[in-house]
Amino acid sequence: MGVLNPHKRLKADQFAYFADCLALICIHICVFLACASSTGATGTKIRVALFEDRGASAPAKKNFETVLSNSDEIQYQTIYGDDIADGSLQGFDALIMPGGSASKQAISLGPQARAEVRRFVKEGGIYMGVCAGAYLSSEAQDNYLGLLPLTTMDQKHWYRVDDGTPVDVELTPAGMDVFGLKTRNISIVYENGPIFAPPTEKVDDSFTPLGFFRSEVVANGGERGVMLGAPAIILSRYGRGMVLAISPHPEKTPGLKQMITRALRWLYDHRAT
């Protein structure tokens, strides 16, 4: 499996794949609906495991706890790497990996827990990764989860901003559906989340960008244009499960925090049967 050079700025035509995805969004979402449950189990609480071991930042955990506890549809519990290694994910529908440090999260998990996460998703579980959790879902480092066949661009200049700053994201029609939003263009807090490169291998129709960056943050020494047009949010299948990787932070963006619980409901209602 080839790996793209993360330090080389990609030319515009290398994003042709992502542009083509826009034209195929309706097909992609139909594929999800055709191979997933459509029962829409309204009233069924979604059992969510929120990772809070080393690598998950305190503010990120607090933001997620607030969002999840304010939803009548969610029953959440915090979880540690050792819990996952011991098989505790069997009692949950979804795992959330919040912001923080992906490399530290990978170490906290260790090889056994990382294998358990992959097994959990492959057998039908939901993985939601935000910022660091989105990095972790990729193949950007050898000890990441590899749930998505993606690496990231310009890793040398990953530290683009000291504090959260709003960026413009354009949602696809599928993204508007998954997040339950009626507007295509949103402004969302960004804190050094991944800038995904095109896939490292051929992907199937379940691989669906849900939103693209339409503004950018440029690090000192970094190149302009790297972030523009790159996918901000990606939805894909991994085995029988679903992976939602979100580079920015809806859970800390006023007016958009409901994106988290709406996406969890959508993913839960469209699980493979």
The torsion region of residue 98 among left (phi > 0), alpha (psi -120 to 50) and beta comes to beta
**Which one-letter DSSP state was computed for residue 45?**
P
Q: Tens digit of pLDDT for each residue in 34-50?
A: 444 433 445 689 999 99
| Angle, in degrees to the nearest 10, between helices 58-69 and 258-269 | 70
- In the chain the domains, ranked by start, together with CATH numbers, are 12-269 (3.40.50.880)
Per DSSP, 56 falls in state: B
What tens digit of pLDDT does each residue of 213-246 get? 999 999 888 889 999 999 999 999 999 999 999 9
CA angle 129, 74, 89 (to 5 degrees): 55
What pLDDT band is residue 20 in, cutting at 50, 70 and 90?
low
User: From CA 71, how far away is CA 40, in angstroms rounded?
Assistant: 17
For residue 84, the SS3 value is: helix
